[in-house]
Amino acid sequence: MQSIGITGVGSYLPETVISNAEIGHGAGVTDEWIVRKTGIRERRRAAPHEATSDLAAVAARRALTRAGLTADQLAYVVVATSTPDHPQPATAALVQDRIGARRAAAFDVNAVCSGFVYALKAVEKLLGSAAPGEPSHGLVIGADLYSRILDYSDRRTAALFGDGAGAAVLGPVAAGHGLRHISLVSHGDAHRLIRVEAGGSRCPASPRTVSEGGHYFRMDGREVRAFVARALPGEIERLLLRAAVPPDAVRHFVPHQANGAMLAELWPDLGLHRAALHLTLERYANTGAASVPITLAEMDRTGAVAPGELVLLAAFGGGMSVGTALLDWTLGESRPCPLPAAGDDTATVLLPAGELLSPLPR
């Protein structure tokens, strides 16, 4: 099997910034309440003309530029999303067309907020078994527009989410480097914790489902928090054991940017004493499947990670799904991030906001 790693990353955050004050007014909460409960201060909202594929296509182009590739060199375009443009066709097909990846197979992955890590595993395996002469690169995109499915009167969810897209190009790297191990697990018995109940084959769209708010995102926040606290530490421990890597060798931890207060509680229990915790949720909130690749793109842009350093990704989401991945950072021209002192479980890197971007022209 060919060693596969990340050779380029990119992201796109919509131009419009939505403050806690704007969100809080409709949900009956204050800026102070939102910050205390979530660590989020603002989020981005897609323009009316933007859909998930629009954001994904910009992030894809930026990742390809960072990798020094053109779209026609791609074998696969995979979009991880739970807010697709349409029920069908796949959002990835729209992105493939927009970026000109004419040789690529395109498909979507829906593991909700774990989708990017799930898609990484799929593309890594597909590329690793490619025959000589076949295209050797794939594009994995996480993209979500939760602003379109939120009930803004529901204080449990209204403040948590933002819109965005992040992308990673995968391709051959030096033997023994790149993606070391990826672990995926689902707990289907807990599928009711996160849901959008209407709009599918079980409960098709109708005047009744619309009037009852069946198309809104719903979440049992307390139970989700308990699930993550139970499941994630063990999954990280198992990942490192399978990869034969001690926890102190991990230099960077990139979690799904679900909730800052929850991550602050969880962080000391993970045993990653020499790792920096990377957060972008203060400025971007929870961007679903996009949150991990957006954070990776910010790390690359700001030089927060150096080539060869070990990065651990951990995502969790509806289903209930958990995806963890361990990788060597294989992008150059970055400067090392100062390591926290041994035993310092509070080291957090709050990554700055990226450049403000104009809405994508149609």
Catalytic residue positions, numbered:
113, 256, 286
Q: What residues have CB less than 8 Å from 256, skipping those under 6 apart? A: 113, 114, 286, 291, 292, 314, 315, 316, 317
- Of 201, 195, 225, the residue nearest 213 (C-alpha): 195
Residue 246: cis peptide before it, omega within 30 degrees of 0:
no
Buried b (16+ CB within 10 A) or exposed e, 48-77: eebbbbbbbbbbbbbbbebbebebebbbbb
CA 273 and chain centroid, separation: 23
Do 84 and 146 form a contact (C-beta atoms < 8 A)? no
Backbone angles phi, psi at 61, to 5 degrees: -60, -40
Any residues with CB less than 8 A from the CB of 76 and at least 6 apart, and which?
A: 104, 105, 106, 123, 126, 127, 138, 139
- Host H or E run for residue 279: strand 276-279
Nearest to 5 by CA among 328, 254, 293, 332: 328
User: What are the CA-CA distances from residue 229 to residues 232, 262, 288 (Å)?
Assistant: 6, 9, 19
The Cα–Cα gap between 71 and 218 comes to: 37
Q: Can you read off the two tokens belonging to residue 23?
A: 């969100």
Partnered with residue 168 across adjacent β-strands are 9, 140
DSSP string, 30-97: -HHHHHHHH---EEEE--TT--HHHHHHHHHHHHHHHHT--GGGEEEEEEE-SS-SSSSS-HHHHHHH
What are 253's strand-pairing partners?
A: 277, 312
